[in-house]
Structure 1
Amino acid sequence: MKDYKNLFLKILKNGGLFLILIAFTFYFVFKDMDINTVANTISHINIFYILIAATCMCIFLLCEASNFRRNLTALGCETNLIKCINYSVQGFFFSSITPSASGGQPMQAYQMYKDDIKISHSTLVLFVEFIFFQTVTIMYAIIGFISQRSLLSGRVNSLMILFAIGIVCNLAMLIGLVLVLFYSKGVKKLLNVVVRFLKLCRFKKADILKERVDNVIDEYKDCAMYIVKNKSIMFKTFITKCIQIFALHSIPYWIYRSFGFSEYSIFVFIGVQAVLFISVSALPLPGSVGVSESGFLTLFKLLFPVSVLNEAMLLSRGVSFYLFVFLCGMFILVKYARDSRAKRLARIRAAKEAAEKKVYKQRVVQQI
């Protein structure tokens, strides 16, 4: 429990970096822009498509909540959709404000722990969710790059370098996870070779490192068995994840339609957004703030007219990121206040009941 409190404080400190990055990003975005022109352009958009974009973000959160509910129920945990939406909201918010999205899953595990879900079960469910997120994200990125290669080729070389790095890093992580899950013996043999090499290099903590990695590999055995035994659940989880990422990547298209444009199809936008998403994922910045905005301006200038490109970026990132970071933050604050009030009332009620019992015992003693 103490570790989770320390983690919470660490995440709050990282939130400071998040706010600084936002300040710098908006400074560089707006410094050469006429605010009145931006406001005038945005005021003429079709709000219907903005609402569709916001609905896509709700679908994104609901899909993750649905996966949590499905897998937790399969493990015999008592849960419901409302609780799982809370886990999804917590994950989105804390992933957004911490470097490399490092705070999301630990806070989700903490919320599950508060709901009396075993750490082993929450770890397993979060691990399954992460594997499918990586799989689907990479799948969309590769399909997007291949399908839109003629559009992207030779025009954005600097971002293509980031795309290659993002694909390699995410694919290496996914392959590593699969090997740990299903080829643990081979991974342990490789680990022994690495440890021997570290000892030759006189690395003092080689044995400690080996012990920790062995423990992690052993813990993931249960996850591998769960995946193998629940193929139908895994298939449903995969389909749900595909819908979730499709909804997220479609947001720039709805922003495009809100300006009254219809030349390019939704699949073109999803392909380009998938390439952008994987390209910025390798950078350890909270919410990819700064790089996502500049990446949008670089890639989507191929689809949006230059006259509305900045406004499109503001709306797309505003709906898909900043708005829902704010809404999720408000949700967490309200929930925290409500839970704190419930605990305080419970303590008052318990103290009152204890006092009444004490008075009752005194009266019984006096009567005797």
Structure 2
Amino acid sequence: MKDYKNLFLKILKNGGLFFILIVFTFYFVFKDMDLRTVISTISEVNIFYLLIAAVSMCIFLLCEAINFRRNLSVFGYKTNLLKCVNYSINGFFFSSITPSASGGQPMQIYQMYKDDVKISHSTLVLFVEFIFFQTVTIMYALIGFISQRSLLLGNINSLMILFVVGVGCNLFMLMLIVSVLFYSEGVRNILNVLVRFLHFCKFKKADMIKEKVESVIDEYKDCSMYIVKNKGIIFKTFITKCVQIFALHSIPYWIYCSFGFSEYSIFTFVGAQAVLFISVSALPLPGSVGASESGFLMLYKLLFPVTVLNEAMLLSRGISFYLFVFLCGLFLLVKWVGDSKVKRAERIKAAKESKVYKQRAVQQI
């Protein structure tokens, strides 16, 4: 697992980009704002709804943990919910601070490996999670766009371009995955045609590419068999994922309620947030920092009064992202310190036992 430890250090190093983006984002957000007015406005919101928003984020993390526990149990692992919450927290934190959320799943695999979960099993469980995350994200985005099209069309054309790109990229990825899962032979045939073309073009690494793609196809085949054999588990995973994404997308609504507004329903906000979420997902930025804030100001000017729009953005992104990145990071730091103390104590104990054993051996001689 040395590669995963190196990856951990690389992720922390690349996290610098995340913090740089935060600095620039908040500079442009605050440069034309009166901080006293912002603080005064935020101090008057209803705390109860902010707590509901925070609970929604907890539900988001908990739902993923439930899915981990459910799917790992199929392989015979008696994993408690607390460990699975740890996997979920690792995924959220490292996905948030790395471009295109590339660091989350490797760190989850590493954490599961430390808990004696085979890499093949953890990879499969995470792959199932990824499939349903893509499916539900696209589903909510399309439903949101269709249900709120009269509100969206003609008002935010620039965001609609990103929406089309985001849906297109995510849908292409999902269709590619489904094709590999259930039409692997057809994908192999296409792969053989491409490899022959690369050979014709005298591309030296054609065989290496073929070997890597075929290994991925074999891994996906295991996943397709898992899905077919565990339909009940898969259905529950899908429903849990729907609850998870709904909880995440509902946060702007609770911020809306905290200001005392009630004109629009929770479904309007969930639909709008689903459109925004998939739109900014097309940009390879850590946590979509900058893009999400700009998109919020662009999209929610249709729902929030202009007088509180900036404050609403700060509260929504603050709770749904920055607060929980901080809390998850703090949790991981405390856990790392605790684990280090335990390992140090075990090493000291082992050293003492070894010393005692050697002394007894000498005395016997």
Indicate whether the TM-score tops 0.5: yes
Match of 1:131 in 2: 131
Asked if 1:163 is matched to 2:163, the reply is yes
Residue of structure 2 in register with 1:205 after alignment: 205
Question: 1:73, CA displacement in angstroms?
Answer: 0.5
1:47 is aligned to: 47
Distance in 2 separating the partners of 1:200 and 1:169: 30
Which stretch of structure 1 is more off in the superposition, 77-86 or 109-118? 77-86
Residue identity matched to 2:102: S
> Could you report, residue by residue, the CA deviation over 1:249-305 in whole angstroms, capped at 9, with x for unpaired residues?
000000000000000000000000000000000100000000000000000000000
DSSP 3-state at the match of 2:76: coil
How far has the Cα of 1:78 moved from its partner? 2.8
- C-alpha separation between the residues in 1 aligned to 2:60 and 2:126? 16
Partner of 1:249: 249
Q: Secondary structure, in 3 states, of the residue corresponding to 1:141?
A: helix
Determine the C-alpha separation between the residues in 1 that align with 2:49 and 2:31.
Answer: 28
1:328 aligned residue: 328
Name the counterpart of 1:26. Answer: 26
Separation (CA, whole Å) in 1 of partners of 2:198 and 2:157: 38
Separation in structure 2 between the aligned mates of residue 341 and residue 240 of structure 1, nearest angstrom: 36
Q: Which amino acid aligns with 1:219?
A: E
Cα deviation code 1:27-85 (max 9, x no counterpart): 00000000000000000000000000000000000000000000000111231101100
Task: Report the Cα distance in structure 2 between the residues aligned to 1:14 and 1:185, rounded to whole angstroms.
Answer: 38
C-alpha separation between the residues in 1 aligned to 2:363 and 2:194? 73
Structure 2: give runs of 5+ residues left out of the alignment.
none
**Residue 70 of structure 1 aligns with which residue?**
70
TM-score normalised per structure 1: 0.98
Name whichever of 258-267 and 8-17 sits farther off. Answer: 8-17
Deviation, 1:167, is 0.3
- Paired residues, number: 365
RMSD, aligned CA: 0.6
2: distance between equivalents of 1:249 and 1:197?
A: 45
Give a deviation string over 1:110-149, Cα, whole Å, max 9, x none: 0000101000000000000000000000000000000000
For 2:332, give the aligned amino acid.
I
**Matched residue SS, 1:13:** helix
Q: CA deviation at 1:5?
A: 1.6
The equivalent of 1:174 in structure 2 is 174
Q: How far did residue 200 of structure 1 move?
A: 2.1
Structure 2 residue 283 is matched with structure 1 residue 288: no
Task: Return the alpha-carbon distance in structure 1 between the equivalents of residues 294 and 82 of structure 2.
Answer: 36
Distance in 2, matches of 1:300 and 1:199, equals: 52
Q: Structure 2: how far apart are the matches of 1:202 and 1:58? A: 53
- What is the distance in 2 between the residues matched to 1:220 and 1:266? 37
For the pair 1:106 / 2:140, whether they are aligned, the reply is: no
Q: Secondary structure at the match of 1:164?
A: helix
Within 2, Cα distance between the matches of 1:269 and 1:162?
Answer: 19
**Percent same amino acid among aligned pairs?**
77
Question: 1:202 Cα shift?
Answer: 2.1
Q: Partners in 1 of 2:252 and 2:235 — Cα distance? A: 28
| Structure 1: gaps of 5 or more residues | none
Instruction: Look up the equivalent residue of 1:304 and give its one-letter code.
Output: F
State the shift of 1:204 in Å. Answer: 1.2
The letter of the residue matching 1:332 is L
Other-structure match for 2:82: 82
**TM-score, normalised on structure 2?**
0.99
Report the AA paired with residue 360 of structure 1: R
Offset, 1:228: 0.2
| Letter aligned with residue 295 of structure 2 | G
Secondary structure at the aligned position of 2:204 is classed as coil
Residue 318 of structure 1 corresponds to which residue in structure 2?
A: 318
Q: Indicate the larger mover: 22-31 or 197-206.
A: 197-206
**Alpha-carbon offset, residue 193 of structure 1:** 1.0
2:187 aligned partner: 187
Distance 2:120 2:77 in 1: 11
Query: Is the partner of 1:262 in helix, strand or coil?
Result: coil
Distance 1:201 1:57 in 2: 51
Q: Where does residue 337 of structure 2 map in the other structure?
A: 337
Aligned to 1:282, the other structure's residue is in SS state coil
Runs of 4+ in 1 over 3 A off after TM superposition: none
What is residue 16 of structure 2 aligned with on the other side? 16
Give 1:363 shift.
2.0
1:3 CA displacement: 0.9
Post-superposition offset of 1:364: 2.1
